[in-house]
Chains A and B, each alone.
Chain A
Amino acid sequence: MSEHGHEESSFVARQFAVAEFPSPQTLLDGTTKMREAGYKNLDTHTPFPIHGLEEALGLKRPKIPLIVLCGAIAGACIAYAMIYFCNVFDWPLNIGNRPPHGPPANIPITFELAVLLGGGSAFMGFFALAKLPQPYHPIFESEDFQRASIDAFFLSVELPPGTDMDRTLADIRASGALSAEIVEESER
């Protein structure tokens, strides 16, 4: 299945080395080894989040918190501005002798909108950063990769064109993988 990729001139298939590890712990060790061995674009695929993967993969601090903060603040501002505009600026009315601008009465909606936009940005933010939805990914080409969402722990390495496959596979095995294979993006 993987040969045709080279003949094609227009389309350059991305290649990945995929390796299964027996347990979360071994996966962590393996990942760290591979990263120290100088491999870039490492990624792991596990049925559940594993403690310490961030370090193993050498990831930076996540961006979500900042996004959420901005969302929440925006929500609060929008809410208060809206209330002020409607009931104080645009058309103030005598509502049972209450002053048009009553801060205490504005708290609930201000808070709710802050939460709404904050939560919304947490959700949207995640999918944006994860570039999801993404129906196809080369790594799905791997036969038993579907166990990645069930009970298997995978390490994947995206290989720049012209990498020495065998050496890579060897390194992976060395880092404690049960099995390792090369998958290649199919043209569809």
Chain B
Amino acid sequence: MAAPQLDARDPLEPQPLIEGQHTDKTINDSLLAHVWRGAGKGWWACFAVALSLLGMLVIAISWTLYKGIGVWGNNIPVGWAFGIINFVWWIGIGHAGTLISAILLLFQQKWRTSINRFAEAMTLFAVICALLFPLLHTGRPWFAIYWLMPYPSTNGIWPQFKSPLTWDVFAVTTYFTISLLFWFLGLVPDLAALRDSSQSKAKRLIYGMLAMGWRGSGRHWAEYKWSYVLLAGLSTPLVLSVHTIVSFDFATSVIPGWHTTIFPPYFVAGAVFSGFAMVMTWMIPARKFLGLKHVVTPKHLENMCKIMLVTGMMVSYGYLMEHFIAWYSGDPYEFAQFYYTRMRGPMAGVYWTMIFCNVVVPQIWWFKRWRHNIMVMWFASLLINVGMWCERFNIVVTSLHQDFLPSSWRNYAPTWVDITLFMGTIGLFSTLFLLFLKFVPAVAVTEVKELRHELAHDPTADPVGETH
């Protein structure tokens, strides 16, 4: 059959990137089908759940704004807790999207095309969730929202640009903006395709407006390719810088467990790790229910497993180094932090969960059979999401609750608001994601077509899907 020859240029990879015989038309129809198809029971069920979680988020936020941060579990010394944990967690998840679409694009990884749209959307929504927290966690958000911006205020005070928090503001807003532009730019040709294959006038009108009158002009394509590649080129260092800067929030401080030079690489690796886990968590059900199995093939999933294995090992190396340096530096506070507080302290449970989920679990992907067992893959990805959350808990809370002077050591316990806020952002994320799946092609149709042709025009393969 023809399928294996589709990617004969890649002899090491037996599975095809696109399964079955396709024409542009069939690809087009199959990939847009889920947009035209009416929402099924399943979708509505998920949407209902998502919306109710979102409702809880609204309640939790209102309560926080009404009463103050005191309704959270934070205290002195644990000045940061769930708020910052969730912020870092969500930002980290966002990273996979940009990484897949940008870096894999630059490295011309063909398999990216089937999942990049998906991942980019995920980035956007994750960053939206993340953005909530830095604002909410401040004592006076109504000022925080604009005092962090350098504007000539009446009292003449400027922001303090040596603070990593100020860096954060610029990093995260930039990250969100660029991701949004990148995503939309990639979406334009598909919107045109939607416009042109839409049946009702209304849809045609709406998608038409969004498509901005795209007509696939060769002159446009010429500039388009460049600006797309350049955006990708810019996003690549950006995505690395963002989590680096997030890690500075901790690395630049003096707190044992925060004051660590390995944080930037280790945070970025962690981000990609968790990001891919999240992509997988969503992709596996999506490819089943949206009928994308022919473009999101076992090969894609396997590649993701490999990436998670690699990044997981990087993260493990990070943990290893933290502990090594704590011992090697001879700093008693560092040592106490890593060998007593974390391993045996009141929050040791979280630490060991982290070790299990982030260090042990990925190791299963050394074995091919686990890289092909969808169910196992899916559960593993869930565990990794959990593990990465625990990692942030360890860094933020565990480090703070026992620092230098034993007299100020304090325990920490979250309140219902903390938990609701977290669940709520998951609701927000899911809501946005479900809407995305409903109204936008989940796979970059244009790029898949392009890919198909590239493969088809491979000299070693015989022309496929050409209309004679």
Contact surface of A with B, Cβ cutoff 8 Å: 22-25, 31, 43-50, 53-54, 56-57, 59, 62-65, 68, 72, 79, 82-83, 86-87, 90-91, 95, 98, 102, 105-106, 108-109, 111-113, 115-116, 118-120, 122-123, 125-127, 129-130, 132-137, 139-140, 145-151, 154
Contact surface of B with A, Cβ cutoff 8 Å: 23-25, 28, 150, 156-162, 166-167, 170-171, 173-174, 177-178, 181-182, 184-185, 189, 192-193, 195-197, 208-209, 212-227, 230-231, 234-235, 237-238, 241, 245, 248, 446-447, 449-450, 453, 457, 466-468
Cβ of B230: which chain A residues have Cβ within 8 Å of it?
64-65, 68, 118, 122
Tell me whether B467 and A22 are in contact (CB under 8 A).
yes
The 27 sampled A-B contact pairs (Cβ below 8 Å) are: A24-B453, A24-B457, A43-B219, A44-B218, A46-B218, A48-B216, A53-B218, A59-B218, A68-B234, A86-B150, A87-B160, A108-B248, A112-B170, A115-B178, A115-B234, A118-B230, A119-B178, A119-B181, A123-B181, A123-B184, A126-B224, A126-B227, A127-B212, A130-B219, A133-B213, A135-B212, A150-B197
How far is B248's CA from A111's CA once the two chains are assembled, in angstroms? 15
Cβ of A22: which chain B residues have Cβ within 8 Å of it?
466-468
Tell me whether A87 and B222 are in contact (CB under 8 A).
no
Cβ of A95: which chain B residues have Cβ within 8 Å of it?
160, 162
Q: Given A47-B216, A126-B224, A132-B213, are A115 and B208 also a contact pair (CB < 8 Å)?
A: no
Q: Given A95-B160, A111-B241, A122-B227, are A49 and B221 also a contact pair (CB < 8 Å)?
A: yes
> What is the CB-to-nearest-CB distance from A66 to chain B, in angstroms, rounded to a whole number?
10
How far is B209's CA from A59's CA once the two chains are assembled, in angstroms? 28
Q: How many residue pairs, one in A and one in B, have C-beta atoms under 8 Å apart?
A: 207
Cβ of A111: which chain B residues have Cβ within 8 Å of it?
237, 241
From the candidates B219, B234, B450, B453, name the one contacting A122 in the complex (CB within 8 A).
Answer: B234
How far is B185's CA from A101's CA once the two chains are assembled, in angstroms? 39
> What is the CB-to-nearest-CB distance from A107 to chain B, in angstroms, rounded to a whole number?
9
Cβ of A25: which chain B residues have Cβ within 8 Å of it?
457
Tell me whether A44 and B214 are in contact (CB under 8 A).
no
Tell me whether A87 and B161 are in contact (CB under 8 A).
yes
Q: Given A113-B174, A122-B227, are A149 and B216 also a contact pair (CB < 8 Å)?
A: yes
A interface secondary structure, majority: helix
How far is B25's CA from A31's CA once the two chains are assembled, in angstroms? 23
Q: Given A116-B174, A140-B215, are A149 and B195 also a contact pair (CB < 8 Å)?
A: yes
Q: Given A108-B245, A150-B193, A151-B28, 19 other A-B contacts at CB below 8 A?
A: A43-B217, A45-B217, A46-B218, A47-B193, A48-B449, A56-B218, A62-B223, A65-B226, A87-B160, A108-B248, A109-B166, A112-B170, A113-B174, A116-B177, A119-B231, A125-B223, A130-B219, A146-B197, A149-B193
Q: Given A64-B227, A91-B158, are A149 and B196 also a contact pair (CB < 8 Å)?
A: yes
Cβ of B245: which chain A residues have Cβ within 8 Å of it?
108, 112
* Residue in B closest to A46 when the chains form the complex, CB atoms: B216
Cβ of B449: which chain A residues have Cβ within 8 Å of it?
47-48, 151
> What is the CB-to-nearest-CB distance from A14 to chain B, in angstroms, rounded to a whole number?
14
Q: Given A64-B223, A115-B174, are A91 and B156 also a contact pair (CB < 8 Å)?
A: yes
Q: Given A116-B174, A126-B224, A150-B28, are A87 and B158 also a contact pair (CB < 8 Å)?
A: yes
Tell me whether B222 and A59 are in contact (CB under 8 A).
yes
